[in-house]
Amino acid sequence: MFRSLLEKSWWRRRPSLFAWLLAPLAWSFGRVVAIRAALYRSGRMRQTHPGVAVVVVGNVVVGGAGKTPVTQAVVRCLVKAGYRPGIVSRGYPASPETPRTVTSRSSAAEVGDEPLLHASLGVPVVVCADRVRAAMHLLAANPDVNVLVADDALQHYALMRDIEIEVISSERRYGNGMLLPAGPLREPVARARRCEIRIMPSWVTPASGYKDGNHHVARRRLSEAYALIEPGRRTPLITFANAGAAVVAGIANPRGFYEALRRAGVDGSLFAFPDHHAFQSADFDKVGERPILMTEKDAAKCRALADRRMWVVPLTVHLAPETKRKLLRLVRSACERYAIAEPTRAAPAESGEAEALLDDDAAPAVADP
C-alpha cells in the first residue's frame, strides 16, 4: 500500500503534499549523492578505466526508461560501423559478485533477464555487481573487443567512461522532479545534462524532427510475434486482432506495452506484474486457452514454462541518423585516445560508418501511427 502510494506520488508532474512531507529525507539523500560524487572526482574513491572506449547507458530516474533496447540499438550501430563491442551489466536481479559470462545456456535466475537479450546480439556479455571486474573479465576473454557498452551504469562511478548516454521515458520523464524518496530521481536533473547524448524512446517522431527539447528521440517499434516454443514460427500482430489475447508484462511500464499493442490493432486484456517478475506456471492459470503476448524480456524467464499459447513480441528502439552520427563521432574520438597504447583495438575506418546510419531493422516492424 505504502509503495503504491509512493510511486503514484513520484510520477505526478508536480510534487504532492505526500512528496513534500518526504522532502527532508530527499535533502539528506541528495547530500549523500553529492558527497559520493565529490569523493570520486577528487580521487579519494578509486576509479578504473579498462583501456578501451567505454560507453555508459543509464538514467537518473528509478525504474524502466528503455535502457535495454537503447543499449541494443547502440550495439547494433557499433557493429554495423565495424567496431567490436562487448556489453557489461549488473545482471539484475541476479547481480553475481563474481563476473559471469552470459551464454545461450544461461538462465535469467543466473544472469538476469536483460543480459540474455543482449547476448542474442552475438556480442560478448559479462554480468557482475562490480562493473569494473566485469569489464576486465570480458576484455581478458575477448581481447579483440574495442568498445565496452555498460548497461545501467550511469551511477557506477568506479568504472571510468568516455561517453555517457542518458535515457528518459517519454511518458514519465522526470516525474515530480524530486530526489528519492520524495520523487523518482537518483541524482538531480542537472546530472543528466552533463551526458554527451540524451535519448528519449518514443512511439512517435516529434514534429520538430528527431529532437524533443534536448533529447534525441529514438523510435520504438513492435515486430511481428513469434512462438515461444518455436521461435522460427512468426505471425503478424494483426493475427491477434480479435483473439482476446492476454497481454502479460512484468516490466517497468506494462501499460505502455499494452497500449502499443492496441495501437497496432491487438484487442486484449492486460495482466501486469512487477518489473523483473520471476514467472511461475500459476501466473498463467487465469488466462485460459487464449493467446498470450509478452515481451522478450519476460519470455527470457518463461522458457521452461513455454506452451503453445505463448507468443513473443519483440520491441526495438531505432536511433535517428543524426543520433548515430554523434555517437560514432564520439566513439571514434574515444578510440583514438587508446590507439597508441592498444594498437590492436584501434577504431575502424569511417568507411564502415555509412552502413551504420541506415535503418537497422532486423525484421519487418509494426510502426505506430
**pLDDT tens across 250-281, in order?**
887 888 889 999 999 998 899 988 887 888 88
pLDDT score recorded for residue 194: 95
- What class, spelled out in words, does domain 53-219+318-362 have in CATH? alpha beta
* Grid cell for residue 308: 503453445
* DSSP state at residue 238: G
From 121, 138, 134, select the one nearest 79 (Cα to Cα).
121
pLDDT score recorded for residue 367: 40
User: How much is the pTM?
Assistant: 0.87
Distance CA 295, CA 68 (A): 12
Give the relative orientation of helices 67-80 and 321-338 as an angle to the nearest 10 degrees: 70
Who has greater pLDDT, 255 or 140? 140
| Kind and range of the H or E run holding 54 | strand 53-58
59-92 pLDDT, tens digit per residue, is 999 877 889 999 999 999 999 999 999 999 998 8
Q: Is the peptide bond before 321 cis (omega within 30 degrees of 0)?
A: no
What average pLDDT does the segment 142-160 reach? Answer: 95
From 217, 301, 215, 293, select the one nearest 260 (Cα to Cα).
293
Choose from 27-31, 246-250, 302-306 the range with maximum mean pLDDT.
27-31
Choose from 155-164, 256-265, 277-286, 354-363 the range with maximum mean pLDDT.
155-164
- Residue 158 region, left (φ>0) first, then alpha (ψ -120 to 50), else beta? alpha
pLDDT score recorded for residue 300: 84
Asked whether the beta carbons of 309 and 290 are under 8 A apart, the reply is yes
* Grid cell for residue 114: 536483460
pLDDT score recorded for residue 359: 63
What average pLDDT does the segment 98-106 reach? Answer: 90
What average pLDDT does the segment 147-152 reach? Answer: 95
* DSSP state at residue 304: G
Distance CA 157, CA 154 (A): 7
* DSSP state at residue 347: P
**pLDDT-based confidence at 343, cuts 50/70/90?**
very low
Domain boundaries, the chain: 53-219+318-362, 224-313
| pLDDT more than 90, % of the chain | 54
Distance CA 19, CA 51 (A): 43
Q: Does residue 263 sit in helix, strand or coil? A: helix
Cβ atoms within 10 Å, residue 278: 13
What average pLDDT does the segment 228-247 reach? Answer: 91
From 162, 129, 169, 158, select the one nearest 148 (Cα to Cα).
162
310-338 pLDDT, tens digit per residue, is 999 998 899 999 999 999 999 999 999 88
From 124, 156, 135, select the one nearest 49 (Cα to Cα).
135
